[in-house]
């Protein structure tokens, strides 16, 4: 009985911490302006939409991986999946959630675009260092 | 010997733990978050020790079981105190450090007494049972304390991005481990399934902390309203 209560509490807390953690990652990247180059590559001009997420992640996978970004992009990917699930299930019953999930999905895409920009800059730096040596 | 997947996750975990300490040192955050970094350094040493024992005696050996659970208990107590320093950071303006320390010690003693009261009913291997159960109980106490701290962060409109991410990732870590222990108590036959999952979770915490130290400067701020799960 005690273990079941702990399990339920832990899962509720886990979900809440997960959503808040992902939102804090997004909030930290939202102020970062995208360069014209990344805007061209991703097609994100003013605001990002959830539809672009998979494409931006595919572009991300073309760039060399950075260990410190790995957990954050995986967490945002899982958050995006959770939002997709909510959009196709709960949001059908509660229409106000539809707009919220769409905004959040767009911000996930923006986070992925910011990460892409960082990876491009990192690759450029590495290439420049190789040229110097 | 553990399989290649377990070995790979182990190696990534060790590298991630080292990365936290290196990132904190490079970004000048080592002393500010001293206990968090000392915990990570301790975890790194323990992981190396566990690896050495596994390669000498095997994963199912008594030596490994004892080393694993005793070191886990010590590390959990250490992480508990590291969490208390996060409380001190959040309540720094209120000059509440002394009360936080006192409260943390009382709660730790209370948890230890509760664990002893439960464990003493079973006579065999009292100390070992006490150590294992203390870890489990401290994970849940740590989870509740992190949740309270998260509530305080929202209430006090804390804006320090790095501190917020350290707290949230710790909350995720505690909740996963508490859930894992609860599932293992409910379904003991599933315990082997959870070994790689626990390892994955063990990798998440150092990676998240390394990200927070490396990517986010201490001055970075964000709007607290953006963090609540319920849209405001």
In chain B, the domains with their CATH numbers are 4-226 (1.20.1070)
- The reply to whether A90 touches chain B by the CB within 8 Å rule is no
Determine, for residues B150 and A21 on separate chains, whether the beta-carbon distance falls below 8 Å: no
pLDDT digits over B188-213, tens only? 887 777 777 777 888 899 999 999 99
Q: What is the mean pLDDT of chain B?
A: 87
pLDDT band, very low/low/confident/very high, at B232 (cuts 50, 70, 90): very low
The SS3 assignment for B231 reads coil
Q: For chain A, what percentages of helix, strand and coil (3-state, to nearest 5) are there?
A: 85, 0, 15
To probe the interface with A, which of B149, B151, B164, B168 has the most A CB atoms within 10 Å?
B168
Q: Give the count of alpha carbons within 13 A of B54, CB side only.
A: 14
d(CA B55, CA B57): 6
Determine, for residues B179 and A10 on separate chains, whether the beta-carbon distance falls below 8 Å: yes
pLDDT band, very low/low/confident/very high, at B76 (cuts 50, 70, 90): very high
- The reply to whether A122 touches chain B by the CB within 8 Å rule is no
Residues 6+ apart with CB under 8 A from A3: B182, B185, B186
As to burial, measured by CB atoms within 10 angstroms (0-12 exposed, 13-18 middle, 19+ buried), residue B90 is buried
Long-range contacts, stretch B215-219, CB < 8 angstroms, 24+ apart: B215/A28, B215/A68, B215/A69, B216/A28, B216/B161, B216/B162, B216/B165, B217/B27, B217/B162, B218/B29, B218/B32, B218/B160, B218/B162
Determine, for residues A14 and B175 on separate chains, whether the beta-carbon distance falls below 8 Å: yes
Average pLDDT estimate for A63-92: 87
Average pLDDT estimate for A21-46: 87
Chain A residue closest to B214 (CA)?
A: A68
Residue matched to tokens 């399990």 = A7
* Ranges of H-type helices in B27-160: 34-57, 62-90, 97-119, 126-155
The pLDDT value given to residue B228: 64
Q: What is the mean pLDDT of chain A?
A: 88
| Option in B169, B211, B220 nearest A68 (CB) | B211
- The reply to whether B147 touches chain A by the CB within 8 Å rule is yes
Q: Comparing B174 with A2, which gets the higher pLDDT?
A: B174
- The reply to whether B19 touches chain A by the CB within 8 Å rule is yes
Residue-range definition of the domain harbouring residue A106: 2-132
Q: How far is A111 from chain B (nearest CA, A)?
A: 14
ipTM of the complex: 0.84
pLDDT band, very low/low/confident/very high, at A80 (cuts 50, 70, 90): very high
Nearest to A68 by CA among B18, B47, B16: B16
Determine, for residues B16 and A17 on separate chains, whether the beta-carbon distance falls below 8 Å: no
Residue A78 has a CB neighbour count (10 Å cut-off) of 12
Q: How far is B12 from chain A (nearest CA, A)?
A: 10
Q: Is pLDDT at A66 greater than 80 in this prediction?
A: no
Please state the length of chain B. Answer: 232
pLDDT digits over B132-169, tens only? 889 989 999 999 999 999 999 988 888 899 999 999 99
Q: What percent of chain A has pLDDT over 70?
A: 100
Query: What total number of domains does chain A contain?
Result: 1
The model's pTM: 0.87
The pLDDT value given to residue B123: 62
Q: How far is B56 from chain A (nearest CA, A)?
A: 30
């Amino acid at each position: 009985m005690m273990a079941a209560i702990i399990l339920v509490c832990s899962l509720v807390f886990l979900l809440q911490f997960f959503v808040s953690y992902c939102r804090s990652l997004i909030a930290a990247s939202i102020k970062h302006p995208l360069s014209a180059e990344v805007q061209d590559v991703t097609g994100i001009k003013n605001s990002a939409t959830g539809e672009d997420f998979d494409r931006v992640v595919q572009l991300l996978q073309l760039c060399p991986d950075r260990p410190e970004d790995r957990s954050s992009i995986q967490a945002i990917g899982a958050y995006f999946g959770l939002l997709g699930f909510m959009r196709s299930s709960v949001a059908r019953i509660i229409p106000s959630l539809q707009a919220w999930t769409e905004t959040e999905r767009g911000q996930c895409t923006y986070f992925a675009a910011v990460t892409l920009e960082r990876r491009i800059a990192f690759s450029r730096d590495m290439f420049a260092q190789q040229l110097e040596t | 010997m553990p399989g290649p997947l377990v070995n790979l996750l182990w190696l990534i975990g060790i590298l991630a733990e080292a990365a936290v300490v290196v990132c904190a040192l490079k970004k000048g955050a080592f002393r500010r978050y001293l206990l968090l970094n000392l915990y990570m350094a301790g975890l790194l040493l323990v992981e190396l020790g566990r690896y050495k024992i596994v390669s000498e005696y095997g994963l199912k050996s008594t030596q490994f079981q004892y080393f694993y659970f005793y070191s886990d208990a010590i590390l959990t107590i250490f992480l508990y105190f590291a969490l208390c320093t996060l409380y001190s950071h959040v309540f720094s303006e209120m000059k509440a450090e002394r009360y936080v320390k006192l409260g943390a010690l009382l709660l730790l003693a209370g948890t230890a007494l509760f664990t002893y009261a439960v464990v003493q009913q079973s006579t065999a291997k009292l100390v070992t049972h006490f150590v294992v159960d203390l870890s489990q109980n401290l994970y849940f106490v740590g989870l509740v304390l992190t949740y309270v701290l998260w509530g305080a962060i929202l209430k006090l409109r804390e804006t320090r991005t790095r501190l917020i991410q350290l707290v949230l990732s710790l909350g995720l870590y505690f909740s996963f481990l508490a859930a894992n222990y609860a599932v293992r108590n409910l379904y003991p036959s599933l315990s082997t399934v959870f070994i790689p999952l626990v390892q994955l979770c063990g990798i998440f915490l150092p990676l998240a902390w390394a990200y927070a130290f490396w990517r986010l400067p201490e001055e970075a701020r964000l709007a607290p309203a953006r963090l609540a799960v319920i849209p405001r």
